[in-house]
Amino acid sequence: MMGRILIIGACGQIGTELTKKLREVYGTENVVASDIRKGEPEFVASGPFEVVNALDFNQIESIIEKHEVEDVYLMAALLSATAEKNPAFAWDLNMNSLFHVLNLAKAGKIKKIFWPSSIAVFGPTTPKQDTPQYTVMEPSTVYGISKQSGERWCEYYHNIYGVDVRSIRYPGLISWSTLPGGGTTDYAVDIYHKALSDGKYTCFLSEETRLPMMYMDDAIRATIEIMQAPADSIKIRSAYNLSAMDFTPKEIAEAIKKEIPDFTIDYAPDFRQKIADSWPQSIDDNSARQDWNWKHEFDLTSMTSDMLAHLSEKV
C-alpha cells in the first residue's frame, strides 16, 4: 500500500476541497487532514484529522510518523491582504512551515511535497499581459516576497538535496463551497454570494481591474495532476504559471447579470487596489501545458452558471 497523504491547512479555502477530492481518489483513511484548529464538525468527522501547528516541526514530524505519511500538501499560509496587516507573522508562517516540510523531505521522512505559490510572486515591474514563466519578479507585498523566496528554496532543495517538491502559481480561486480567507481576489467569490442574497455588491477593486482567476474544480485537478505526474516531467522546481481565465469586476458583474438581470454593482476601492495593481492581468502557462499536460475546463460563463446553481441550492 502507498504511504498516506497529509494536508496541512486542511480547513482553509483550498485545503477543504483538496481533502475531499484526495479522499475520493486515494480513500478516506489514506488522507489525513490537519489544521491549527478543528474546522466544521462535519469536516473533522469525515476522516482522519489532527490538530497541527504548521510552525511546530516536532508536531509535524510525529504526525508523519504516526500515520506513515509519504506526501505532504502544505496549504497553511497567510494570503495577500491579511499578510499586509501582519507582515512579521506572515513571513514566519509562510517561510518556516515550508522549511519544516522541506527539511523533513531532505531527511528522507517524506517522499513528495506540494507547496502552493501564487501570481503574487510578480510585481509592478513584471509585464502585465501574458506574463511569462520566466520574467522580472519584484513583488511588492509581503505575501509575494514570501512566495518568491519559497520558490527559490524549493528549487534549491530540489537541486542540492534531491527533494521532490512541486508547485503552482495559483491565480485568484473561486469556489461555491468554501470561502476565501484574506486575499485580494476574494471579491470574485463574495460577489456571487451578495448577488444572490442582496441583489447588489460593493466591490473593493475598481471596475477595470483585470486579474487572472480560476474555478476551484480546475485548481484542485491541477494540484492532483502535478503531483501524479512522473518526476522527470516536472521540469520546473520553483513553481509553474497556471492560467484559466482573466476578467475585471465589471465583466464578472455582466456575467452575473445574464442570470440575475436586476443585479447591480458599485465600487469602493480600498488598500487591496494597490496590491491588485501590482499583479499580472493574464498569465502564459505554456510550460504547465507542455510539461504535465495541464488543461483548464471552466471559463467565466461556465463558472458563473455553476457557482449560481450551487449557491442557489444552499440558500
Cβ proximity to ligand AKB, 80 vs 278, nearer residue: 80
Q: Alpha-carbon distance 283 to 272, whole Å?
A: 20
6 sits near ligand AKB (criterion: CB under 6 A): no
- Whether residue 78 contacts residue 93, with contact meaning beta carbons closer than 8 Å, is answered with yes
Q: Alpha-carbon distance 179 to 16, whole Å?
A: 10
Phi-psi region of 199 (alpha: psi -120 to 50; beta: other; left: phi over 0): left
**Least gap, CB of 170 to ligand AKB (angstroms):** 6
Residue type for position 231: A
- Residue 235 cell numbers, joined: 521540469
Segment lying near ligand AKB (by CB under 6 A), choices 20-28, 59-67, 179-187, 253-261: 179-187
Residues 6+ apart with CB under 8 A from 164: 105, 111, 112, 113, 158, 231
Sites for ligand AKB among residues 40-99 (CB under 6 A):
79-80
Q: Alpha-carbon distance 135 to 131, whole Å?
A: 7
Q: Which of 47, 48, 183, 280 binds ligand AKB (CB under 6 A)?
A: 183
Q: Which of 74, 120, 203, 224 binds ligand AKB (CB under 6 A)?
A: 120
**Least gap, CB of 191 to ligand AKB (angstroms):** 14
Cβ proximity to ligand AKB, 164 vs 284, nearer residue: 284
Segment lying near ligand AKB (by CB under 6 A), choices 38-46, 53-61, 149-157, 165-173: 165-173
Q: Give yes or no: 143 in active site.
A: yes
170 sits near ligand AKB (criterion: CB under 6 A): yes
Q: What angle do CA 302, 304, 309 make, to 5 degrees?
A: 100
Contact positions toward ligand AKB, by CB under 6 A? 79-80, 118-120, 143, 170, 172-173, 183-185
